[in-house]
Chains A and B, each alone.
Chain A
């Protein structure tokens, strides 16, 4: 398997649930990202990891908690979400955290919070 794989593809959760999104990249990249895409809005960067270290937290609420156990895996733990958190969550990777380095995206997890 190659590329960036995200699971699950779809997730429906209540506001009191705890769930996790998983991302795995098979490209040997060193940097991994979480993006959020809401309807009619640009992709919003949430978190960046470079060599397993978090290098950016883009003012994301604490109900979103990332985890990067190694360079190939990235998780987004969700807890006590709000309906406005419903969106497409995209994972991406790049060779390094260089400016302009092209990103490789997974297919995303479509999240609905009820």
Chain B
């Protein structure tokens, strides 16, 4: 049973437009969410995170939105650039009383930015 779901395996967006990647979760104990980005032949790298006490976190072109009632989060990239083409993983953890071993990942969304 997948507790973190990324239902879109792939997404193509025109350069300069907004990319929106979605993630749904089922475990109401999750209270910390992270996005990782992975290029081919490299390991995932941390991109941005959000705790459940917030509903938005912004870092430059990247913004993560959290809707706790819907158990949904999204990553917005604007404007999208060719270097953003990668696989994006959503991850969630129940931070209180648990260690990182409880970090649960989604299957990833492959984002392709079209020049």
Contacts of A9 in B (CB 8 A): 41
Taken together as a complex, chains A and B put the C-alpha atoms of A55 and B9 apart, in Å, by 33
Contacts of B104 in A (CB 8 A): 42
Give the number of residues in A that approach B within 8 Å (Cβ atoms): 30
Tell whether, in the assembled complex, residue B95 and residue A98 are in contact, meaning their CB atoms are under 8 Å apart: yes
Q: How far is the CB of B67 from chain A (nearest CB, A)?
A: 19
Tell me the B66-106 residues at the A interface (CB within 8 Å).
Answer: 89, 93-106
Residue of A41, A45, A106 near B43 (CB, 8 A) is: A106
Tell whether, in the assembled complex, residue B105 and residue A107 are in contact, meaning their CB atoms are under 8 Å apart: no
B residues near A (Cβ < 8 Å) are 2, 4, 9, 32, 34, 36, 41-46, 49, 51, 89, 93-108
A residues near B (Cβ < 8 Å) are 4, 6, 9, 31, 33, 40-43, 45, 48, 50, 55-56, 58, 90, 92, 94, 97-108
